Amino acid sequence: MKTLSIIYWSRVCLGVIAALLNVLYDFFLGLNTSSFLRGLSFAMLIYVLTYYVYKRLFMTKVEKPSKVFSTGVGAYFIVWVVAWVLFYTLTLSLLGLL
């Protein structure tokens, strides 16, 4: 696999993981509701942290340094929103709050 493909698909997977962690965090703290802005902030934090990890790992393997930051940004946030809504709805229905 090429370097940019690895970055792209790992960010897609991280979008799902970030959404799951956000919903679990909210409900284990007993908040009974999940704030979209709090979740978006959490997703941005994870994205920025992975940027620094990927920068160290892949900076010498890509032609433009900006590609490490921009690869998969759209897919990450779209997958995060879809997964967040899915996990949030499933959690609410399992708890009988829906």
pLDDT, tens only, 73-94: 999 999 999 999 999 889 888 8
Residue 21 carries which side chain, given as an amino acid letter? L
**Structural domain of residue 25, as residue ranges?**
3-95
Q: What is the model's pTM?
A: 0.86
Q: How far apart are the first and last CA of the chain?
A: 43
pLDDT digits over 8-34, tens only? Answer: 999 999 999 999 999 888 887 766 566
**How many helical (H) and strand (E) elements, i.e. helices and strands, does the chain have?**
4, 0
Q: How many domains does the chain have?
A: 1
Give the residue, 86 or 37, on which the prediction is more confident. 86
Report the residue count for the chain: 98
DSSP 34: -
| Residue 32, token pair as written in the block | 């009974």
